[in-house]
Amino acid sequence: MEEGHPVSTGLAVRDLTISYGGAPVVRDVSLDIPHGEFTMVIGPNGCGKSTLVKALARVLKPAKGTITLHGRDLWAYRGREAARHLALLPQNPVAPEGITVGGLVRRGRYPHHTLLRQWSPGDEAAIGFALERTGLRELTGAQAGQLSGGQRQRAWIAMVLAQQTETLLLDEPTTFLDISHQYDLLELCRELHEEGRTIVAVLHDLNQAARFATHLIVMNHGQVVAQGPPAEVLTAALVKQVFCLDCDIVPDPRTATPMVVPHARRT
CB 153 within 8 A of CB 185: yes
Name the burial class of residue 264, with classes exposed (0-12), middle (13-18) and buried (19+) by CB atoms within 10 angstroms of its CB. Answer: exposed
DSSP string, 4-59: SPPPEEEEEEEEEEEESSSSEEEEEEEEEEETT-EEEEE-STTSSHHHHHHHHTTS
Residues of the chain with pLDDT under 50: 1-6
**Close Cβ partners of 87 (under 8 Å, ≥ 6 residues apart):** 108, 160, 161, 163, 165, 167, 168, 169
Which pLDDT score is estimated for 2? Answer: 37
Q: How far, in whole angstroms, is CA 117 from its chain's centroid?
A: 30
pLDDT of residue 75: 95
Domains of the chain: residue spans and CATH: 1-79+167-181+195-235 (3.40.50.300), 86-164 (no CATH)
Question: Over the stretch 165-176, which tens digit does the pLDDT of each residue have?
Answer: 999 999 999 988
Residue range 84-121, pLDDT digits in tens? 999 999 998 988 999 999 999 999 999 988 766 777 88
